[in-house]
Amino acid sequence: MEGWSREVKSVRHLAYTAPALVLLAVGFGWPLVLLVVGLGSNGFTFPARLIVRVEMTTIELAITVSVAATALATALALVVRNLNEWVRRTVFFLCLFPMGVNIAFRVFGVQYLLSPEGPLVATAEALNLSLNPGALLFTRTATTIGLIHWTFPVVVPLMFVAATRLDEATEHAALLLGAPQRAVVFRVILPQLGPAIATSFTLSFCLAYGSFITPAALGGINDVTITRLIGSFLADGRGADASAAAVVALLGPTVFVLLFWLALRAARMSTMSTRHLSAER
Mean pLDDT of the chain: 80
Helix pair 48-80, 194-209: axis angle to 10 deg: 140
CA separation for the pair 39, 239 (Å, rounded): 10
Domains and CATH numbers, the chain: 52-237 (1.10.3720.10)
Three-state secondary structure call for residue 144 = helix
pLDDT in tens, 235-272: 766 666 666 666 776 677 777 778 777 777 777 777 66
Band the pLDDT of 46: cuts 50, 70, 90.
low
Q: With bands split at pLDDT 50, 70 and 90, how would you rate the model's confidence at 40?
A: low
pLDDT computed for residue 15 by the predictor: 56
Dump pLDDT digits (tens) for 79-110. 998 888 898 889 999 999 888 888 888 888 88
232 pLDDT higher than 80: no
Output the DSSP codes for 172-198: HHHHHTT--HHHHIIIIIHHHTHHHHH
Question: Smallest Cα–Cα separation from 23: which of 277, 257, 272?
Answer: 257
Predicted confidence at residue 2, as pLDDT, reads 43
| pLDDT cut 90: percent of the chain above it | 22
pLDDT, position 231: 77
